[in-house]
Every structure is written in structure tokens, then in C-alpha cells.
Amino acid sequence: MSLFKRTSPSVYLFIFAIIVLAPPSLNLFASSWDFSRHSIPVDEIQSGGPPRDGIPALFDPKFVAADKADFMRDDEMILGVFHNGIARAFPTRIMSWHELVNLNFGDTPVLVSW
Amino acid sequence: MYDRNISGKTVTFGVSGLLYKSNLLMYDHQTSSLWSQVKREAVTGPMTGTRLTVLPSTVMSWHEWKKRFPETEVLSPDTGHIRDYDRDPYENYYKREKGLFSFFKGGPDEKEKELIAGITIGGEAKAYPIDLLRQETSLSDRVSGKNITFTLDKKTGFLIITDSKNNNIDYITTYWFVWKGLYPETRIFRFNK
């Protein structure tokens, strides 16, 4: 009970504000996106759990030459891309934490997705 | 892999956290339109209907990839983010027979998590089991009146799908239940028993 006594009124006000001012989750979710145009039924779009950018995409990440890549195991799975004469491997155990990589292969801006 | 040059502009993408029929939706930072990776187009927002160009990619072991491309580079775990990269968060999902958020109801011949290469030609969708394609050096089929050929490039290990004029045909590698969720009318290629 001492916890209640020590809680300042501003904390209650804060909790009240969260409860009253937070819109229902569906509105919260719709407000970040523009659904004025769509080709799929919007009510069939579900939340996958994490919020927008909760899984952070990568932008122009670093690469390591194969002979210096001592963090790699021979039997592990990679997503392989060969484009504009450049070969790059994306370990799936890294891709699963980011899902998207924005980068360039020479002059071509590309998106690698997992 | 997709080309980020879309209608003459370079677009960047992020993870929306939203799903449509078990398919992750990504969004572009420029217009906040949502894009389906499997449908290869924007499905909501100002970019709705805009197509993505698919560039070939493949999945194999690091050992096998290095043999084919000794000059390869590999994505560094030094990404600027702190994550447990020793562990793949989807490890158990790969092994599961069932999909995530799946409402799949398949026939006795259908394996929910079978990996397929999916194509759409003239409004017709068809799926080709990857295991089956890997057993054949070359395979032909006819979809929507077009003759198409599947070739597994021996040197690179990439699957190449071409029409009779030798134009490349875009395909997506995904699980059967994901493909069927987006293309309920899709057929799947099997050898006649």
C-alpha cells in the first residue's frame, strides 16, 4: 500500500492520459498508412507483431571478403546474389533479424529480401 | 532480390510489420505504400499497382556458394545493430510443417511448406516444386499458351526460367501455402503418375 502513497498525482494523470487518449489499436494501425488506394482487401491486412520498423531494414551494410570471413560456418545457409559481376552472400541468420537490405550492386540500386 | 529503381526514381524500403495472407508487406519510405514481396507490386497507397522487377537470387550453403564464386563477399555481422546473430530466430519455423499465421487447407497431395518457384503469365499462376526442378537439368511446360523452359545453371546454381524467345521470366521462391494464399487459383506442376 505504501506504493500507492508514494505515487505522485502526475503519474496517475499520465496513466489516465494513455488510457483515454490512445486510440483503439486498429485506428492506430490504420493511421500510419494511406489506404485510400488499394488492390487487396484492407481488412485482411494483419499485424505480424512488431510495429513499423520494429524489424530494422539495413542500408548500405558492410561486406567482408570470403577469405576473411572467419565468422562463417561452411554448412550454414546463405542467400546468394550475382549481379553486375558482383557476388554477395547474405547469411540467413543475419537476414532473419532485418528481412530487408537496401544496397547497390555497381550502378543498380537493389533490395535483398528474406 | 528487386530493382529499387522504380519509374526512374530510387526507392528505399522498410519493414511494415504487417502481413497479408501470411505474406510480409514492406513499405517504401518515399510514399508509405505497402508492397507484397510475393505479388511483386504495391498493394496499398499512392504506388498501388506498380510492379517490382525481380533479379535472380538463390539459397545454398556457404561452402557451395564459395566454390561457385570464390571472389564473393559476405554480409558483415557488424551491422550497427545489436542482435544475436549466432541464432536464427526463424530456425524452428523452417523445420515446422505448418506456416505462421496460416489458415491453409490443402489436399492430401499438398505440403504446406513445400518450397516452390511461382510464376504468373497472362493472369495464370503456376507453382513448380524446387526439389523437382533440382532433379532435372531442364524442364519445359506450357502456361497460358506460352512455352517456358526451366534451366538450372550448372556453374552458378541459379534457376533460370525463359520463354520461347529466350526472355527471362520473373519468379518468386516461397512456400506453397504463401503462394496459394495469394493466388488461390494457382496450379502446381507434378509429373504424371
**Res B192 pLDDT > 90:** no
Q: What is the pLDDT of residues B13-45, one digit of tens each?
A: 999 999 998 788 999 999 999 999 989 999 999
Average pLDDT over residues B144-170: 92
Question: By CA distance, what is B1's nearest residue in A?
Answer: A112
Q: Report CA-CA distances (Å) from A63 to A10, A68, B78, B158.
A: 50, 10, 9, 22
Is the reported ipTM for this assembly greater than 0.90?
no
Return the pLDDT at B136. Answer: 83
- Sorted by where each begins, the domain ranges of chain A are 2-113
CB–CB of B1 and A72 under 8 A?
A: no
Q: What is the pLDDT of residues B109-126, one digit of tens each?
A: 778 888 899 999 999 999
User: Is the minimum CB–CB distance between A73 and chain B shorter than 8 Å?
Assistant: yes
Question: By CA distance, what is A84's nearest residue in B?
Answer: B55
State the burial class of residue B1 (Cβ atoms within 10 Å of its Cβ: 0-12, 13-18, 19+): buried
Question: Which pLDDT band holds residue A9 (cuts at 50, 70, 90)?
Answer: low
* Contact between B150 and B157 (Cβ < 8 Å): no
Return the pLDDT at B24. Answer: 86
Query: Which of A94, A95, A101 has the highest number of chain B CBs within 10 A, making it the mutation to test binding with B?
Result: A94
Which chain B residues contact residue A32 at CB under 8 A?
32
User: Is the minimum CB–CB distance between B46 and chain A shorter than 8 Å?
Assistant: yes
Return the pLDDT at A73. Answer: 96
* Helix/strand/coil (H/E/C) assignment for every residue in chain A: CHHHHHCCHHHHHHHHHHHHHCCCHHHHHHHCCCCCCECCCHHHEEECCCCCCCCCCEECCCEEEHHHCCCCCCCCEEEEEEECCEEEEEEHHHHHHHCEEEEEECCEEEEEEC
Q: How far is A17 from chain B (nearest CA, A)?
A: 26
CB–CB of B89 and A96 under 8 A?
A: yes
Q: What is the pLDDT of residues B44-102, one digit of tens each?
A: 999 999 999 999 899 899 999 999 999 999 999 999 999 999 888 877 777 776 665 55
Question: By CA distance, what is A101's nearest residue in B?
Answer: B13
User: Is the minimum CB–CB distance between B2 and chain A shorter than 8 Å?
Assistant: yes
Return the pLDDT at B178. Answer: 87
Return the pLDDT at A30. Answer: 53
Q: What is the pLDDT of residues A60-114, one digit of tens each?
A: 999 999 999 999 999 999 999 999 999 999 999 999 999 999 999 999 999 999 8
Question: What residues of chain B, 116 to 155, have a C-beta less than 8 Å from chain A?
Answer: none
Return the pLDDT at B154. Answer: 84
Return the pLDDT at A4. Answer: 44
Question: What residues of chain A, 11 to 70, have a C-beta less than 8 Å from chain B?
Answer: 29, 32-40, 42, 44-59, 61-66, 69
User: Is the minimum CB–CB distance between B57 and chain A shorter than 8 Å?
Assistant: yes
Return the pLDDT at A8. Answer: 55
Return the pLDDT at B105. Answer: 67
Query: Which of B62, B102, B160 has the highest number of chain A CBs within 10 A, making it the mutation to test binding with A?
Result: B62
Q: What is the pLDDT of residues A11-65, one digit of tens each?
A: 555 554 444 444 444 444 556 899 999 999 999 999 988 899 999 999 999 999 9
Q: Report CA-CA distances (Å) from B188 to B36, B118, B125, B138.
A: 21, 9, 9, 17
